[in-house]
């Protein structure tokens, strides 16, 4: 009897452990490798890429450099596996791979053979460098470096070395996660393989501007001309209030011989970004937004004839926004990615001469199709290499045959781990909105879904507000992780989300609390009609504008939801306007400052705090100290209001995170607290 009972318990324990191990968990989510940064060798035969892995116990990650034949084969790690390296790229002759490493205390440039052997340090600059590029003729390298331009209080008061004060007399005194430190990132040019102490040129000397643009711009905002005689970089050369209210970045060209810089995009009003020269040097393509102040405007491909200065837009009549421009070797075709119905695909744009100095579109076609996100592309002979993911699979590298459109998986960094895990079904539904529109909504089901059971269900509210609920694989808002925890997820592409045309994208601006809220309720109400949805256990969750949405729904949901979670959400639009940093966003999407009499009704309608007296549902508030985009006061105000009204509520606060949660152990803690709250009120 005892033996039989023991055997039964062992079998039950085995079944329990097996059931846990075949589902995605917060811990094994952080064990997945992250693949990105594909770079094709000059001869098109090999691909190097970065693979980042994390050690949860050590609370840190390591970035390895990998190599794989472009036609497929076995991936090999070519870095030493001891320390991270960054920004790996092929030298123009293909004989070496350059990269950055902090091995000697500062971030410097190194080179290795394509097989990883003979690593040598090739730069000796006085401080960290980043965003490096070889000139095509290999005579120079460009890089960026922080340069102190302005006087600080420490400079002004040298006899007070322990004083910590800072003083500012203009806006943009802090940005996303950093206070302004009186320094700016400048583009530098040095001789390739310069010896220690040899001079380098600051091509922005004395300028109080950043290039690339902080905090998210990188090496894609710097491009060498194929003849190595000039370099083009992106910069928003504005200061203070003018910088805070504008998105008007420009392309600037520096001539190495004349030492002069000219503005290539004067007259363009919005963002101009990501310059890419054609291989023959005749054309410069870049992404351009038409409207100043609108960070989520349509990205149009513009082209400049570098011989004549003539500029023109390509495919501007298409109701699509483009990115990741790549030229063909003959400079007569452009490949680019574009969002289509909550997926991201590759398109081929055939070009032909239009008069003496222009190009026009000869043909336009899709190279890829399917429910996935293609995040980057690079040319490799008759193929394109790029990163692709779905809601159920993190990014891997794939190739697409340009002629046949055949898609082939190139890397398999996570296949072994994923093969052991059950993923839930991802279903695409079209739901009618209150104004009669069709809204694409993803519904994600738990693994081993049983339609005869009832499941607690979550309404996912997307941030942005203009950021598609596409086939992304998130390491925080991961739909498969939610599904593995026993929830059905309803993720609508409500008003304001891109990839459904510009009208749908623009509809959110100045109407945050309007049709988008109706869209959310339409989605959850429609899916809640299903017999397997537990209508007594519905929750709403989201971050940023999604967090705003949660706060707003908490005041208007009329008993639909049993709990809420808001991460870094906007709660009080008046106090948020006065404490955020990129005011162009607030001006465009909210309409302007709260003290403008004409906007009184807009703030009354759109600010969630106006309905806080109607809150009656448990709510978890998550907010972080270093979030300057949606400052901490937003979460504190919401939590205090809930507490004073006796509403069950919890504040989760991180002193060392910004708008996101990026540290491994913080991330796992975030998930544990997230699901503990949901499980308390929905199960």
How high is the pLDDT of residue 3?
40
Task: Determine which one of 101, 246, 627, 649 is catalytic.
Answer: 627
SS3 per-residue string spanning 327-365: ECCCCCEEEEEEEECCEEEEEEEEEEECCCCCEEEEEEE
List the one residue out of 513, 659, 503 whose CA is nearest residue 580.
659
H or E element: which one contains 584?
A: helix 583-590
How high is the pLDDT of residue 15?
36
Neighbouring C-beta atoms of residue 647, cutoff 10 Å: 17
401 counts as catalytic: no
Sign of CA dihedral 541, 546, 548, 549: negative
| Average of per-residue pLDDT across 350-359 | 95
Is residue 529 over pLDDT 90? Answer: yes
Contact 361, 350 (CB under 8 A): yes
Going by the DSSP 8-state scheme, the letter that residue 595 receives in this structure is T
The number of C-alpha atoms within 13 Å of 468 and in the hemisphere containing its C-beta is 24
List the one residue out of 304, 362, 297 whose CA is nearest residue 323.
297
How high is the pLDDT of residue 197?
76
Q: What CATH number corresponds to the domain at position 527?
A: 3.40.50.1820
Task: Determine which one of 246, 321, 392, 544 is catalytic.
Answer: 544
pLDDT in tens, 167-190: 999 999 999 999 999 999 999 999
How high is the pLDDT of residue 511?
97
186 counts as catalytic: no
Say if 326 falls within a structural domain.
no
Span between the terminal Cα atoms of the chain, in Å: 36
**What is the residue range of 513's domain?**
422-682
Q: Provide the token pair at 511.
A: 């109407």
How high is the pLDDT of residue 194?
80
How does residue 20 score in pLDDT terms, banded at 50, 70 and 90?
Answer: low
The number of C-alpha atoms within 13 Å of 113 and in the hemisphere containing its C-beta is 4
φ and ψ at 624, to 5 degrees? -125, 145
Say if 415 falls within a structural domain.
no
Is residue 247 over pLDDT 50? Answer: yes
Of 556 and 23, more confident: 556
Say if 316 falls within a structural domain.
no
Q: Provide the token pair at 222.
A: 């710097």
Neighbouring C-beta atoms of residue 115, cutoff 10 Å: 10
List the one residue out of 233, 298, 231 whose CA is nearest residue 258.
231
Alpha-carbon distance 625 to 169, whole Å?
Answer: 23
Say if 5 falls within a structural domain.
no
Say if 641 falls within a structural domain.
yes
How does residue 633 score in pLDDT terms, banded at 50, 70 and 90?
Answer: very high
659 counts as catalytic: yes
What angle is formed at CA 107 by the lines to CA 101 and CA 109, rounded to 5 degrees?
60
Is residue 17 over pLDDT 70? Answer: no
Say what the pTM is.
0.95
Distance of CA 267 to the CA centre of its chain: 28
Alpha-carbon distance 350 to 365, whole Å?
Answer: 9
Say if 314 falls within a structural domain.
no
Say if 583 falls within a structural domain.
yes
Which residues have CB under 8 Å from 43's CB, separation 6+? Answer: 94
What angle is formed at CA 155 by the lines to CA 153 and CA 159, rounded to 5 degrees?
90
Say if 91 falls within a structural domain.
no
Total domains in the fold of the chain: 1
What angle is formed at CA 554 by the lines to CA 552 and CA 557, rounded to 5 degrees?
100
pLDDT in tens, 657-677: 999 999 999 999 999 999 999
User: What is the DSSP secondary-structure string of 284-321?
Assistant: EEEEE-SSTT-TTS--EEEEEETTT--EEEESTTSS--
Alpha-carbon distance 193 to 128, whole Å?
Answer: 16
Share above pLDDT 70 across residues of the chain, in percent, rounded to a whole number? 97
Mean pLDDT of the chain: 95
Alpha-carbon distance 404 to 365, whole Å?
Answer: 12
CA torsion 152-156-162-166 (nearest 10°) is -40
Is residue 16 over pLDDT 80? Answer: no
């Amino acid at each position: 009897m005892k033996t039989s009972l023991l055997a039964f318990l062992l079998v039950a324990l085995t079944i329990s452990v097996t059931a846990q191990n075949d589902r995605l968990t917060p811990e094994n989510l952080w064990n997945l490798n992250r693949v990105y940064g594909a770079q094709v060798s000059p001869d098109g035969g090999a691909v190097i890429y970065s693979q980042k892995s994390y050690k949860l116990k050590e609370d840190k990650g390591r970035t390895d450099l990998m190599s794989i034949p472009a036609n497929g084969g076995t991936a090999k790690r070519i870095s030493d596996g001891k320390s991270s390296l960054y920004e790996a790229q092929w030298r123009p002759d293909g004989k070496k791979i350059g990269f950055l490493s902090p091995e000697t205390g500062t971030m410097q440039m190194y080179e290795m053979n394509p097989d990883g052997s003979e690593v040598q340090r090739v730069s000796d600059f006085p401080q960290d460098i980043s965003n490096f590029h070889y000139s095509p003729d290999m005579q120079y390298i460009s890089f960026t470096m922080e340069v102190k331009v302005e006087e600080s209080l420490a400079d002004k008061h040298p006899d007070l070395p322990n004083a910590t004060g800072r003083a500012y007399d203009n806006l943009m005194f802090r940005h996303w996660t950093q206070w302004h430190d009186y320094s700016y990132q400048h583009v530098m040019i040095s001789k390739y393989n310069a010896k220690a102490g040899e001079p380098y040129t600051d091509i922005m000397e004395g300028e109080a501007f950043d290039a690339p643009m902080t905090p998210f711009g990188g090496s894609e905002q710097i491009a060498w001309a194929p003849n190595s005689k000039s370099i083009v970089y992106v910069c928003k050369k504005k200061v203070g209030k003018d910088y805070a209210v504008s998105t008007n970045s420009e392309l600037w060209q520096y001539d190495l011989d004349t030492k002069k810089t000219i503005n290539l995009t004067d007259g363009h009003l919005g963002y101009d970004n990501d310059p890419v020269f054609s291989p023959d040097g005749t054309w410069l393509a870049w992404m351009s937004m038409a409207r100043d102040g609108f960070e989520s405007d349509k990205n149009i491909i513009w082209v400049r004839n570098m011989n004549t200065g003539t500029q023109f837009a390509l495919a501007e009549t298409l109701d699509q926004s483009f990115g990741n421009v790549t030229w063909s070797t003959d400079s007569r075709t452009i490949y680019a990615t574009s969002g289509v119905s909550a997926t991201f695909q590759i398109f081929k744009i055939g070009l032909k001469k239009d008069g003496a100095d222009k190009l026009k579109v000869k043909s336009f076609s899709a190279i890829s199709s399917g429910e996935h996100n293609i995040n980057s592309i690079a040319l490799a002979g008759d193929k394109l290499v790029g990163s692709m993911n779905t809601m159920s699979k993190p990014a891997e590298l794939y190739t697409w045959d340009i002629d046949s459109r055949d898609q082939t998986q190139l890397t398999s960094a996570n296949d072994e781990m994923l093969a052991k895990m059950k993923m839930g079904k991802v279903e695409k539904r079209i739901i009618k909105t209150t104004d009669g529109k069709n809204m694409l909504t993803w519904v994600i089901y738990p693994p081993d879904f049983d339609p005869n059971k009832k499941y607690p269900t979550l309404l996912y509210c997307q941030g942005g507000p203009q950021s598609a609920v596409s086939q992304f694989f998130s390491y925080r808002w991961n739909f498969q992780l939610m599904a593995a925890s026993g929830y059905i997820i309803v993720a609508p592409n409500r008003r304001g989300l891109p990839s459904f045309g510009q009208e749908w994208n623009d509809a959110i601006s100045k109407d945050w609390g309007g049709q988008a809220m109706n869209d959310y309720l339409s989605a959850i109400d429609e899916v809640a009609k299903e017999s397997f949805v537990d209508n007594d256990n519905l929750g709403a969750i989201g971050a940023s504008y999604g967090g705003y949405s949660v706060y707003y729904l908490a005041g208007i949901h009329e008993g639909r939801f049993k709990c809420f979670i808001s991460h870094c959400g906007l709660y009080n639009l008046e106090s948020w306007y006065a404490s955020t940093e990129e005011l162009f966003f607030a001006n465009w999407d909210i309409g302007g400052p709260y003290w403008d009499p004409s906007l009184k009704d807009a703030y009354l309608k759109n600010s969630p705090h106006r309905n806080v007296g109607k809150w009656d549902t448990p709510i978890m508030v998550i907010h972080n100290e270093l979030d300057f985009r949606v400052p901490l006061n937003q979460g504190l105000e919401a939590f205090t209001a809930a507490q004073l009204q006796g509403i069950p509520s919890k504040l989760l606060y991180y002193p060392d995170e910004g708008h996101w949660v990026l540290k491994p152990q913080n991330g796992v803690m975030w998930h544990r607290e997230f699901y503990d709250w949901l499980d308390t009120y929905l199960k």
